[in-house]
Structure 1
Amino acid sequence: MTQSFHDLPREERLSIARRGTSHYSNQLALIDNADFRSPSRLAGWDIATLVAHTAYNASALVNLVDWANTGVETPMYPSPDARAEQIAYGATLIPDALRNLHDHTLVRLDVAWRDSSEQAWDNEVKTAQGRTVPMVETLWMRTREVWIHAVDLNQTATFSDIPRVVLDTLVPEIVGKWSNTGAGEGLVLVDSESGERFPVTPGAETTEVVGTKTGLARWATGRGAHGVNADAPQPPRWL
Structure 2
Amino acid sequence: MAARHDHTTDPRLQEELLQARRGTAFFARKLNELTDAELDGGTRLPDWSRRHVVAHVGYNARAIARLVEWAATGVETPMYPSPEARNQEINFGATLSPIALRNLFDHSAVHLSVEWRDLPDANWASEVRTAQGRIVPASETVWMRTREVWIHAVDLDNGASFHDVPVPVLERLLADITTAWHTRGTDAGLLITVTDTAKNGVTFGDTSAADPTIISGPLAAVVEWAAGRGGSGVTATGPGGSPEEIPAPPNWI
Cα deviations across residues 112-152 of structure 1 (Å, max 9, x unaligned)? 00010111111110110111110000110010000111111
Q: Does 2:103 align with 1:97? A: no
- Secondary structure of 1:36's counterpart equals helix
Aligned 8 A contact 1:17 1:143 in 2: yes
- How far residue 94 of structure 1 moved from its aligned partner, in angstroms, is 1.2
Q: How has the CA–CA distance of structure 1 residues 69 and 211 changed in structure 2, closer, same or farther, with 3 Å as cutoff?
A: same
Matching residue of 2:229? 223
CA offset at residue 200 of structure 1?
3.5
Partner of 2:170: 167
After superposition, the Cα gap between the structure-2 partners of 1:94 and 1:205, relative to the gap in structure 1 and judged at 3 Å, is farther
For residue 201 of structure 2, what is the aligned residue in structure 1?
195
| Number of residue equivalences | 233
SS at match of 2:40: coil
SS of residue matched to 2:191: strand
Give the SS at the match of 1:214: helix
CA gap of 1:213–1:8, structure 2 versus 1, over 3 A, is: farther
Q: Deviations over 1:182-220 (max 9, x none)?
A: 323211110113110102463355210001111110000
Q: Residue 182 of structure 2 is aligned with which of 164, 179, 183? A: 179
Aligned to 1:238: 252
Which residue in the other structure is 1:31 paired with?
Answer: 34
Partner SS state of residue 119, structure 1: helix
Root-mean-square deviation (CA, aligned residues, Å) is 1.4
The answer for unaligned runs of 5 or more in structure 1 is: 1-6
- Rounded to whole Å, the distance in 2 between the matches of 1:221 and 1:87 is 21
Tell me how far apart the structure 1 counterparts of residues 107 and 139 of structure 2 sit (CA, whole Å).
21
Query: Are 2:181 and 2:205, in contact at CA under 8 Å, matched by a contact in 1?
Result: no
- Gap runs ≥5 in structure 2: 1-9, 237-244
Normalised by the size of structure 2, how large is the TM-score?
0.89
Q: Is the 8 A contact 2:128 2:138 kept in 1?
A: yes
* Correspondence for 2:68: 65
Written as runs of structure 1 = structure 2, the 5 A alignment for 1:126-165 is 126-165=129-168
Counterparts of 1:42 and 1:184 in 2: how far apart (Å)?
23
1:4 aligned residue: none
Equivalent residue of 2:157, what SS?
A: coil
Partner of 1:3: none
Q: Matches of 2:62 and 2:210 in 1, distance apart? A: 41
- CA displacement, residues 18-72 of structure 1 (integer Å, 9 cap, x when unaligned): 0000000000001111111211111210000110001000000000000000000
Contact 1:40 1:153 in 2 (8 A): yes
Read off the aligned partner of 1:213 and give its amino acid letter.
L
Letter in 2 for 1:225: G
Aligned counterpart, 1:209: 215
Q: What percent of counterpart residues are identical?
A: 48
Inter-partner Cα distance in structure 2 for 1:84 and 1:162:
27
Matched, 1:13 2:16: yes
Q: Which amino acid aligns with 1:235?
A: P
Normalising by structure 1, report the TM-score. Answer: 0.94
